[in-house]
Structure 1
C-alpha cells in the first residue's frame, strides 16, 4: 500500500489553563488571525483555534505547561516588515536569527513563551 502526505491540517501550541483571553489578544487581535469554533465535544478542554491561511493553529491547555523554546511553527507572511513593525508597536520582542537563503525571518515568543517563526520568501 502506498501513501503520500498532502500537507498540514494544523499545529498545536500548548498554553496554561486560563489562556484564552491572552491567546485571542495575541493570535486574533495582534496577528489578525480569524478565530474558528472548536468542535463542541472539545470545548470543555479549554483553549481556542485560529485560521492561518488554509491551516489551523490550535492553542491547547496543558496542565503541566512548559513553553516550547526550540520547537516552533514557521508561519509564512506577506509583508514581513509590516508584521515586524506591528509587533514592535505592540511591545513584542523580536528575536533575530541567521538568515536562511531565499527567506527573511524573525522569531517572537507568544504570550506563553512558545517560540514562533515568521518568514517571507524573497523574490528571485
Structure 2
C-alpha cells in the first residue's frame, strides 16, 4: 500500500540553457522565494506555499522525462516492497541529506518520486 501523507514537490523541466531566465522569472517576476542550496542536477528549488517547485533543464527530445510529483511516505522500505511485489521497477537518484527516496514509473511512463524524511 502507498501510505502517502502529502505532496512534497513537483519537478518541471525547462529547455537547456534557460536556467537563469527561469530563475529570474520565478523569483523576480512572480516574486517567489528561491530555496538556496546545491540541488541535484543544477535544479532551482522554489517555495510555493507549503510545497516546493523544482525546475530543471532537460533536452526536449529526451525519452523518459524527469518531470514528476513527489510524495512523502511514512515507511519507504515498506512501500518499495509493496511496489516490487507488483513487479514495478524501482530506480534511485542522487542522495539528498535527510531524505531516503526512490522513483517509479506507471505503465504510461509517468515518473513518481517517493520520499521518507529521516531528520
If the TM-score is normalised by the length of the shorter chain, which range does it land in?
0.3 to 0.5
Tell me which of the two structures has the higher relative contact order, counting C-alpha pairs closer than 8 angstroms and 6 or more residues apart.
2
**Which structure shows the higher strand fraction?**
2
